[in-house]
Amino acid sequence: MATAPAANLPLFYKDLMPLSSVDHANFRARALDKADFLIDQHAVPLTSDEFISASRYYPIVFSAGDNPVPLALMGLNEGVNTFVDAEGKLINPVYVPAYVRRYPFMLAKLRPDTDELSLCFDPTSGAVGEFEEGDALFENGEPTEPTKAVLEFCKNFEEAGQRTGQFIEELQKADLLMDGEVAIQPEGSDKPFIYRGFKMVDENKLRELRGDVLRKMMQNGMLGLIFAHLFSLQLMREIFAEQVRSGKVPLVSEAPVA
């Protein structure tokens, strides 16, 4: 469950096109009433800035591998999302991760020889095009206020991503991440469902940290993020219960979560 997207394009994106005031002078961006790209996604990337808000609704884990990524779990099994219906509409009002809200836009590096990022969009999303409705992206060759707002959101997301990378580095430096495992015993079953394939903070190692290290983590805000992650893991049982209610639990007794 917890492996970062391996394709050339990020999760959700089927194509990327640089936004151009020339090529897309008449384009508009319209709100979508559903997110069908979420239907089969059980894990969504999360920034550390979002831990507190997201921990109220989703278990927060870290992807497996050498470069862990925080993930908000929307389901415990591949292809299962308990937060959207069959059409991709949110079932209940919840916090929506910034990664989802950013789509179909993102900042991307167009040339490997520069660090400059350009605002791009997924032309297959159905949210950007030559529509009669929606917000105009350009006016007289200049970005409109909605376009500037999108650009600012994407910039903030990139900055949050950098802070998240630093947070992960500190966790690894303190050797706090361990392979996770959660066993859930359903009623009427003689075997538990065992979920693996993700990383989590090792509470024993957290308790054994030196006082000066703990003090630093408290002062820089890391400790609060760690506790948000640990507390959120209790929600895995709620998501499992929702999968049971909706008939989305696999028949096998062991399944990867991340």
Helix (H, G, I), strand (E, B) or coil at 182: strand
Contact by Cβ (8 Å): 64, 258? yes
Contact by Cβ (8 Å): 44, 72? yes
Closest by CA to 57, choosing from 39, 40, 38, 44, is 44
Contact by Cβ (8 Å): 40, 144? no
Helix (H, G, I), strand (E, B) or coil at 176: coil
Q: How far is Cα 130 from Cα 126, in angstroms, rounded to an integer?
A: 10
Q: How far is Cα 257 from Cα 3, in angstroms, rounded to an integer?
A: 10
First-to-last C-alpha distance (Å) of the chain: 2
Length of the chain: 258
Question: How far from the centroid of its chain's Cα atoms is residue 250's Cα?
Answer: 24
| pLDDT value for 257 | 54
pLDDT < 70: residue spans in the chain: 1-7, 250-258
pTM for the model stands at 0.90
Domain range annotation of the chain: 17-252
DSSP 90: B
| pLDDT value for 192 | 86
Closest by CA to 59, choosing from 38, 76, 37, 84, is 76
Half-sphere exposure of 201 (CA within 13 A, CB side): 26
| pLDDT value for 112 | 78
| pLDDT value for 251 | 57
